[in-house]
Structure formats: structure tokens, C-alpha cells
Structure 1
């Protein structure tokens, strides 16, 4: 009788170990979920930094004239009256298009 109980307990132990290692909620599944959570945490941190930078940019654009002026100069080519525009074109390199650079200097028109 004791052998049957020991055999039954051994089979129960083996069954539980199989479920632990290969069944639903197994160690392998837990490890893969842990990796996914770590990846998502990194993505969330990166996106949160980006959102903070965008929020700061929006705040600057709403409350500061300098940010609007800087954006207009770089994106729209704003030149104030009395400033002289200089454009420097570098010689073309083989295999790539020229990269023009522009500067605005205060001066007479």
C-alpha cells in the first residue's frame, strides 16, 4: 500500500513539474512576458521623454516670441528688414547632392 501512495505522489510531482515548465503560466511564458514588459517600459520611457520635449516646444511657441521667430527663420526663411541674407553653397561632392547653408547677418539692405 505504501508503494502505491509513493508512486501516486511521484506521478503527481512529475505532473506538476511538467505544468510548471511547459503548461499555461510556465516559467518560459513568464520569462517571455518579463522581456516584453522590459521592452515596453523602455519604449514608454522614450515616448515620455519625446512627449515632454514636445510639450516644452508647445509651451515655448505659445508663450515666447523668440521660439516662433526661430522656427520661422529656419523653416520659412524669415529675413527681417535691415538684415542681409548670405547663402553659402559648398562644392558638390561625388555621389551626393550639395548641402546649401544659409546665414542671416544684420546690416543695411
Structure 2
């Protein structure tokens, strides 16, 4: 009878230890949940980066294939104008700058092209 009680006590202790390690130990449920959240975050980030890469690839293809994209980029980023065109910069009047702002007009230099 004493051996049976000792065996039951050892088995109960083993069961308690296994349950503890399953829930709180290395590789336990908390760690699995944290890893799942980390994987989901990485998937979201990868999806965003894939979309950005696709947009960049489309822009590269557009710049390689046509002059319209290059012209639009030169106009918007570099402020370039064609010969004979007049550049107007309109400033929103609702802001109150410290110095007076007027509409600017500039003509492109004649290059003979």
C-alpha cells in the first residue's frame, strides 16, 4: 500500500511538472503565442514591402519605357520647364508667412532645340 501511494505521488508530481513546462516553460503556450504574433507582424511587414517593391518596379519600367514619365519627374522634382513655357508658382493665401509672397513667373531660356 505504501509503494502504491508513493508511486501515485511521483506520478502526480511528474504530471504537475509536465503541465508547468507545457504552459510556462521553454516552448510553452506563452512562447508559442508570442512567436505567432511575431510571425503575423512579419507577414504584414513583408506584404507592405512587397507592395512597395511592386510600385518601385512599375516606376522603373515606366521610366525605362517612356519619355512622359521622365518629363513628369523632371517637372515635379526639378522644376524644369520646356522652352517657351511660363512657370507659375501659386502659393496658398490662407497661410500667414513672415515675408510677403507673390506669384512667381519665369520663362525658360531659349536653347535652340
Query: Which TM class, normalised by the smaller chain length?
Result: 0.7 to 0.9
Instruction: Work out which of the residue numbers 42, 51, 54 in structure 2 matches 1:52.
Output: 54
Q: Which aligned segments of 4 or more residues in structure 1 are displaced greater than 3 angstroms?
A: 94-102
TM score, norm. by length of structure 2: 0.77
In our comparison, the structure showing a higher alpha carbon Rg is 2
SS in 1 for 2:87: strand
- The CA distance in 2 between the partners of 1:32 and 1:56, in whole Å, is 36
Aligned residues: 103
- Equivalent of 1:66, from 42, 65, 68? 68
Distance change (3 Å), C-alpha of 1:62 and 1:88: same
Which ranges of structure 2 fall in alignment gaps of 5 or more residues?
A: 105-113
**Structure 1 unmatched runs, 5+:** 103-109
Q: What is the RMSD of the two structures over their aligned residues, measured on CA atoms?
A: 2.9
The alignment's TM-score, normalised by the length of structure 1, stands at 0.80
